[in-house]
Amino acid sequence: MQFNGLTLEIRRIMARGFAVMLGLCLMLGAWPSLPAWADPALTAAAPAAAPAPAAAAGGSFVAAAVTQVGPAVVRIDTERTVTRNPDPMFNDPVFRRFFGEGSQPAPYEERMRGQGSGFIFNADGTILTNAHVVDHADRVTVTLKDGRRFEGEVRGVDEVTDLAVVKINSSDRLPIAPLGNSDQVQVGDWAIAVGNPLGLDNTVTLGIISTLNRSSAAVGIPDKRVDFIQTDAAINPGNSGGPLLNGMGEVIGINTAIRANAMGIGFAIPINKAKEISARLVRGERVTHPFIGVQIATLTPEVARQNNEDPNSTVILPEVNGALVMGVVPNSPAASGGLRRGDVITQIDRQAVTAADQLQSLMERSQVGQSLQVTIRRGDRTQQLSVQAAEMQGDS
């Protein structure tokens, strides 16, 4: 009996040991199926990540572009004196009677400071920037990335395209930013913005070209005459005047911070536009831009139909494509030529006009003093008007 009991106990121990060994074998057999040890065939079937852009030796293409252009990007500090009039409250008769006739303070002067960016594009120290960066500046100071500082001279300003040229003099060699061809830029190309946004020197942001030929009228700045490059690379105050680069480190545009509410999008003046007028700005010549003096919006048959079906509409619009005159500037060529609010411009000198930005482009290609034959739709009638283009000012 004792032997049999011992045998039974040994059998129980052996059974438990066998169960433990079996559990270990099952666990080890399942181990390769855990995520960290996934089957290579399953791993290969997973979707691959998008290929990274070609990198320069020792770094990315962005680093290579910035290394090439960065030394030529400058910070521009400006100062100007502004005369301020005293608070209108001091003109109140009650105030003068209480404090005396001689108590009214005189006008006073205030020093205003600004900051922007620019880049050297010629070995003689010629710098491109935005007109609004150096607008009415009494003093311009240019600081290079290596710390050198120069007094800058504003050679020329064109408010209509928001371009300006500043000149510095140096006996030492100056870095130069290579200029590209903005006509070859495509939507989806890389865009690298370099500048000094918000006072933070030598800042770089990366994005893509999101739209081309975005007219200044569509952007909401009718006092400019530019077809912008639109990008999602961050362009903030202080970036204005700095270069927008392509993936090869060539300047394709000049950054301009023009819309405070432009969240996630920025605008740049195409470098080819700067090439057209930079020589005249360097010589101090005035750049002229023709205009006729109308505020316009794009009209389509669908938009006109929606307007005409609205019982509260105050005007019936022709259901055509064209540039709808939203307003006429007083004493302008358009006013003298007989254009009215509600007219639809369909042709300029027999060239079809189907959108507001197209009219702007046609005007830019005309000449100051040129007599333009304007075809309009007024109600259900087509009329021909003669309008003589005048010179556009910054605030026209």
Q: Residue 254 and residue 165: Cα distance in Å, rounded?
A: 12
Q: Residue 58 and residue 52: Cα distance in Å, rounded?
A: 15
Radius of gyration of the chain (CA): 34
* Token pair belonging to 17: 């040991």
Q: Residue 326 and residue 274: Cα distance in Å, rounded?
A: 30
Q: Residue 336 and residue 224: Cα distance in Å, rounded?
A: 23
Share of the chain above pLDDT 70, in %: 76
Query: For residue range 192-248, what is the model confidence (pLDDT) as tens digits?
Result: 999 987 767 788 999 999 999 887 767 767 677 888 999 999 888 788 899 999 999
Q: Residue 217 and residue 333: Cα distance in Å, rounded?
A: 19
CA-closest candidate to residue 291, choices 365, 382, 345, 234 = 365
Does the structure show a pLDDT above 80 at 376?
Answer: yes
Comparison of pLDDT for 184 and 11, the residue scoring more? 184
Ramachandran region, residue 293 (left: φ > 0; alpha: ψ -120 to 50; beta: rest): left
- 133-151 average pLDDT score: 92
pLDDT of residue 139: 93
* Residue 179 DSSP symbol: B
Annotated active-site residue 289? The verdict is no
- 244-261 average pLDDT score: 86
Summarize the chain as % helix, strand, coil (round to 5): 30, 35, 40
Residue 6 pLDDT class (50, 70, 90 cuts) = very low
Q: In whole angstroms, what separates CA 270 from the centre of its chain? A: 10
Residue given tokens 């150096």 in the structure block: 134
Does the structure show a pLDDT above 60 at 178?
Answer: yes
Annotated active-site residue 132? The verdict is yes
Domains and CATH numbers, the chain: 66-167 (2.40.10.10), 182-282 (2.40.10.10), 290-391 (2.30.42.10)
pLDDT of residue 86: 64
Residue type, 30: A
Comparison of pLDDT for 191 and 315, the residue scoring more? 191
Does the structure show a pLDDT above 80 at 59?
Answer: no
pLDDT of residue 379: 87
Measured between alpha carbons, how far apart are the two ends of the chain, in Å? 119
Residue 101 pLDDT class (50, 70, 90 cuts) = low
pLDDT of residue 261: 62
The catalytic position among 77, 158, 162, 357 is 162
> Which run of H or E residues covers position 337?
helix 333-337
| Burial class of residue 65 in the structure, from the number of CB atoms within 10 Å of its CB (0-12 exposed, 13-18 middle, 19+ buried) | buried
pLDDT of residue 236: 80
Query: For residue range 18-49, what is the model confidence (pLDDT) as tens digits?
Result: 444 444 444 444 444 333 333 333 333 333 33
The catalytic position among 182, 215, 216, 240 is 240
55 neighbors 61 (Cβ within 8 angstroms): yes
* Token pair belonging to 216: 């200044």
Q: Residue 236 and residue 162: Cα distance in Å, rounded?
A: 16
For residue 133, which phi and psi values (nearest 5 degrees)?
-70, -40
pTM: 0.70
Does the structure show a pLDDT above 50 at 1?
Answer: no
In the chain, the largest separation of any two C-alpha atoms, in whole Å, equals 132
CA-closest candidate to residue 142, choices 198, 197, 200, 77 = 77
99 neighbors 86 (Cβ within 8 angstroms): no
pLDDT of residue 40: 34
* Token pair belonging to 21: 């060994």
> Which run of H or E residues covers position 215?
strand 203-215
* Token pair belonging to 115: 């900051």
Annotated active-site residue 170? The verdict is no
Compute the mean pLDDT over every residue in the chain, rounded to the nearest whole number.
81
Comparison of pLDDT for 114 and 259, the residue scoring more? 114
Residue 127 pLDDT class (50, 70, 90 cuts) = very high
Q: Residue 349 and residue 337: Cα distance in Å, rounded?
A: 15
pLDDT of residue 197: 79
* Token pair belonging to 182: 């903005």
Residue given tokens 């007094």 in the structure block: 151
115 neighbors 62 (Cβ within 8 angstroms): no
Which residues, listed in sequence order, are joined to residue 256 by a DSSP beta bridge?
A: 267
The catalytic position among 117, 132, 215, 227 is 132
